[in-house]
Amino acid sequence: MSAAQWTRRKVLNTAAGAAALAGASSLAAPGVAEAHGGRPGPHDGLRIIAIEEAVILPGLITQGTALNGAIPFKPEVTAEWFKRLPDVTEYRLADMDANGVTMQVLSLTPPGVQMQPDAAIAVRDAQVANDALAAVIAAHPTRFGGLAALPLQDPRAAVREARRAIRDLGMAGFLVNGHTNGHYLDEPQFRPVWAELEELGAALYLHPTPAPTGDWGLLKDRPELVGPLYSWAAETGGHALRVVLGGVFDDFPGARLIVGHMGEFLPYMIPRLDVQIRNINTKVPLKKKPSEYLTRNVAITTSGVMDDNMLQAAIRSVGIDNVLFAIDYPFERSEQAVGFLRNASLSAGHRRKIAAGNAERILKL
């Protein structure tokens, strides 16, 4: 038994882990997992790890999802998503088996704990969510990993929870759903959190949030632009650039940020960023060009962008070692995402890196 599996099994012997598992019976029913045999479906020798896979976890005080906002999703589509989000064993494992997905790395669906105005509740909810997620992983250690929630409303508590999530719960890293009540990850109060993440060697996945920070005139009378069609990518890419321009990676050169959706526009902006940074007085003097941070400290995933032209451009921009596979389940279709991966114009070695190798290295899976 590996150290990670031992850690995950140990969670089941803790009161918190047992309670979380009992409260999430639909999430972690070993009998159902055994019915699937614990194996991927198609066996072509390709190990596939998907790392941006959403779940609703039980026991949280903070309620709401990205599906409750102003985005005009079709009702029949959101109904299907709501059916699948709280589930692991009934629909999710079957979907993974049918499409040859070896492992999903689960995380709390947006906005997660980030929009909770009460810091004490945010801390409590992050602990409950992380315990529940650890219990799911302990029940299915070869099929699921986890990105833990961080209660950034209380940075000192976030440091403690980060340490617990990695050392006690065996999590693979962290996922933050956008800004935290209007506060961004480059702000000085979050420096201790970055220091802890660097010390732990744990990556942070920056995911879009449905929570607006204020009026954006561009979106007026065009609700279609809110969300995955445009605003989420622009906002999340801008947030990642705040981290770069705020000097976070100069202060913590070992820190790792992951952004989804083929890099939230950033890989395709790298040449312009490097040119224009020479013309701008940055608030924080940077030691390197933006491209150096975006290829050393930032990794991207393929979630939701299933196009070979975009993939090839991203690889040329950020390097093959910085591209990871993700589905964005249940919001995207696994068969489409996996089909894209299997049929992309890649050498066998590069396909293995994107499918699983880079995730295994960066997330220590």
Instruction: Report the alpha-carbon distance of residue 50 to residue 314 in Å, rounded.
Output: 18
Q: What's the Cα-to-Cα distance from 110 to each of 56, 68, 162, 270, rounded to whole Å?
A: 9, 10, 19, 28
The helix (H) or strand (E) run that includes residue 16 is helix 15-22
φ and ψ at residue 323, rounded to 5 degrees: -115, 125
Task: Select which of 87, 95, 97, 328 is catalytic.
Answer: 328
Name every residue whose Cβ is closer than 8 Å to that of residue 62 and which is 6 or more positions away in sequence.
112, 113, 115, 116, 121, 122, 125
CA–CA gap between residue 41 and residue 64 (Å, rounded): 33
Q: Nearest to residue 242, comparing CAs of 310, 194, 174?
A: 194
CA-wise closest residue to 27 among 111, 84, 103: 84
Active site residue 154: no
Residue 303 identity (one-letter amino acid):
S
> Which residues participate in catalysis according to the annotation?
328
